[in-house]
Amino acid sequence: MLSAAFNIVGFSWITSPAATELEVIVLDWFAKMLKLPSQFLSTALGGGVIQGTASEAVLVVLLAARDRALRKHGKTSLDKLVVYASDQTHSALQKACQIAGILPENMRVVMADCDRNYAVAPEAVSKAISTDLPSGLIPFFVCATVGTTSSAAVDPLPELGQIAKAHNMWFHIDAAYAGSSCICPEYQHHLDGVEEADSFNMNAHKWFLTNFDCSLLWVKDRSYLIQSLSTNPEFLKNKASEANSVVDFKDWQIPLGRRFRSLKLWMVMRLYGVENLQSYITKHIDLAKIFEEFVISDSRFEVVTPRNFSLVCFRLLPPPSDEDNGHKLNYDLMDSANSSGKIFISHTVLSGKLVLRFVVGAPLTEEHHIIAAWKLLQDEATKLLGSLSII
């Protein structure tokens, strides 16, 4: 409400010093909570900036990486630039490639490894790169995910970081969903290898009690963003900017105008404090563990992948006579549960199986909600299986 009422359009420092300075401060606070390397702090060559969404974050770093590669290899090399990512990587990367002019055939989608809980195998990425190099193609960008959309898988950051370093590629880490959990000491190991990254992104509006939109992006060297995204028309010139003594966040993002989003994040961090925020995250994960145990206890269901964070991937086992491996059965279960108006779950497909996704993330969720949700799913499963036995 305060952010909207102030109606600040803080595209440059001079349009609102408070909005700019507060953003620098809270992004440094958050980086320290996550124990990010010091290179990502504003006091070094890097720094943090609030984007609207993770889609915007991956686009701006892709543009920075693209332009860095073009300066090295020449402007005519655009059609040779290649991006690498897992098939579990968010579709935002594909859209970013389309916008950035990366040829569709130059986006390498590497199949994730089901034995790694659908994380990508480093050797598969290395193989894709070694296949491209003899053709004169230029590997320039690799994206890893901490908490993939489908199964909350965590890609092997140290290995991917070493691969990127060996080929002078930009290494981006997308932790849009799961990054919030890494403020907790027991989950910070998921960021092992972040020191190899050129950029790191997470969404405070997903699991950090902050209203949409508030996507946090850190870069190790801000000059690459500024070189790609800065404009300097006469009507924006001012003494502070000309002296290079201030931060103008307009040069770190796609649009010119920007809201006072740091005020939302500052309010959350000051109201709750680190310990309460950690407790909030761990409570949700504990509730997800309870749901996972419910699924395991009912032989009609299976947990499809080991639970990561607060997401449980499960499905109702189909009868032996089922011809589509439970695809329709589980879709009907999801549809009937959602149609009740009591819960809402979503689905994905893993290794050809339609899988249901139960995630805990709402601020007011308590254990009795988990119990009620499980009972609803059990009751609907009983009805569906009963109708199949009649047929």
User: Residue 152: inside a domain, yes or no?
Assistant: yes
Is residue 390 over pLDDT 60? no
Residue 257 vs residues 49, 65, 260: alpha-carbon distances, Å: 14, 23, 10
Q: What percent of the chain has pLDDT over 70?
A: 99
Q: Which of 260, 293, 310 is the last residue of a domain?
A: 260
The verdict on 252 and 284 lying in the same domain is: no
What total number of domains does the chain contain?
2
The verdict on 307 and 332 lying in the same domain is: yes
The verdict on 172 and 53 lying in the same domain is: yes
The verdict on 307 and 165 lying in the same domain is: no
Q: Which domain holds residue 332?
A: 274-390
pLDDT of residue 4: 84
User: Residue 113: inside a domain, yes or no?
Assistant: yes
User: Residue 305: inside a domain, yes or no?
Assistant: yes
The verdict on 295 and 224 lying in the same domain is: no
Q: Which of 213, 233, 260 is the last residue of a domain?
A: 260
The verdict on 279 and 251 lying in the same domain is: no
* Element spanning 56, H or E: helix 54-73
Q: Which of 214, 234, 260 is the last residue of a domain?
A: 260
On whether the CB atoms of residues 171 and 142 are closer than 8 A, the answer is yes
The long-range contacts involving 204-207, CB below 8 angstroms and separated by at least 24 positions, are 204/30, 204/180, 204/265, 204/268, 206/176, 206/177, 206/180, 206/361, 207/177, 207/178, 207/180, 207/181, 207/281, 207/284, 207/310, 207/361
Alpha carbons 75 and 72: distance in angstroms, whole number: 9
Is residue 2 over pLDDT 90? no
The verdict on 232 and 128 lying in the same domain is: yes
pLDDT digits (tens, 9 = 90+) for 298-346: 999 999 999 989 999 999 999 887 778 889 999 999 999 999 999 999 9
State the pTM of this model: 0.92
On whether the CB atoms of residues 35 and 194 are closer than 8 A, the answer is no
Q: Range with the lowest mean pLDDT among 33-42, 65-74, 329-338, 379-388?
A: 379-388
pLDDT digits (tens, 9 = 90+) for 173-232: 999 999 999 999 999 999 999 999 999 999 999 999 999 999 999 999 999 999 999 988
Residue spans of beta strands (DSSP E) within the chain: 47-51, 81-86, 107-110, 138-145, 170-174, 199-203, 215-219, 301-303, 311-316, 346-350, 353-359
pLDDT of residue 180: 96
User: Residue 170: inside a domain, yes or no?
Assistant: yes
Read off the CATH number of the domain in which 315 is found.
3.90.1150.10
Tokens 């009868």 correspond to: 319
CA nearest neighbour of 295 among 270, 321, 318, 315: 315
User: Residue 66: inside a domain, yes or no?
Assistant: yes
pLDDT of residue 323: 77
The verdict on 45 and 192 lying in the same domain is: yes
User: Residue 290: inside a domain, yes or no?
Assistant: yes
pLDDT of residue 389: 60
Residue 307 vs residues 84, 117, 234: alpha-carbon distances, Å: 26, 9, 54
Strands 107-110 and 138-145: unpaired
The verdict on 227 and 280 lying in the same domain is: no
The verdict on 11 and 158 lying in the same domain is: yes
Q: What percent of the chain has pLDDT over 90?
A: 84
User: Residue 266: inside a domain, yes or no?
Assistant: no
Read off the CATH number of the domain in which 105 is found.
3.40.640.10
The verdict on 112 and 136 lying in the same domain is: yes
The verdict on 130 and 164 lying in the same domain is: yes
User: Residue 288: inside a domain, yes or no?
Assistant: yes
